Amino acid sequence: MIGDVILDRYLWGNATRVSPEAPVLVVDVDREELRLGGAANVAQNIRALGAKPVLIGVLGEDAAGTSLLRELAAREIETDGGLLADPGRRTTLKTRIIAHHQQVLRADEETREPVSSGVLQELLRRIEDALPQADAVLLSDYGKGVLTPGMLDRILPEILSRAIPSAVDPKEEHFLRYRGVDVITPNLAEASQAWGRKIRSPEDLLEAGFGLREKLGVRSVLITRGEHGMSLFTEEGHAHFPTRARKVYDVTGAGDTVVATIGAALAARAPLAEACVLANHAAGIVVGELGTAVATDRELIESLEDLPVG
């Protein structure tokens, strides 16, 4: 599991008055909660499904980095040999203020510049050490400087030469560098950006899905479409998976859950279509929660058991 690790901080409270200093709400904070985001959230989704994530990324030597390590340890996610502390960077910290179950403000503290050449070389060494034991490789790109063009140009050929199943949750600026992976999972906006025009109709969707697959030379493109489900494009054709969500409360982190579930399924040698069905059910579970969440193996089984017979 390679990518940008993030710490999500939630401040929960009530807003009953306006500040006398500025025309903004005053939130009386009742509690604070820390959650894993980005590649760290992908890792905890993998762990919740019963697989073992080896998380490789960068964090800062700061309080947020210490908290991130503590949260990972609490979820039994291995960090030794994978996460690298860089004193020249800040750990990505996203603080969300929630009042009356609605987000009223988000404040981001982060470093977005690409990692230094020295850090990159150390990350590549750790990836090289981890690949022989990997049943699948997942890339989680949040544009925070870990998945640089230089890294992708080095690791993708190595992953392909080893025939390790691979899945990518992409960022627009690196989209065309994910050549040859097994599955790339853009949302509708990311797919539109990469295709060069907005996807507005079913015809646009078909054109973009098959076009991106050919343009990238990937095995498959899975476009996630929020309340409209997911659409898979492969050499054999396309398939649509309608949403399994009973309610859509918050889509934060749903993409993490999708790529984690697909990765875990591919690692277990499940067919791609089956992996997508599992990912669709897992996403339907997490969007019913506020903020980043996970779908456990038990919840996934229960969701599958709810399918109509016949």
User: What is the per-residue burial (b if ≥16 Cβ within 10 Å, else e) of 156-195?
Assistant: beebeeeebbbbbbbbeebbebbeebbbbbbbbebbbbbb
CA atoms within 13 A on the CB side of 57: 36
Residues linked to residue 190 through DSSP beta bridges, in sequence order: none
Structure tokens at 200: 């507005």
Question: Which residues have a catalytic role annotated?
Answer: 256
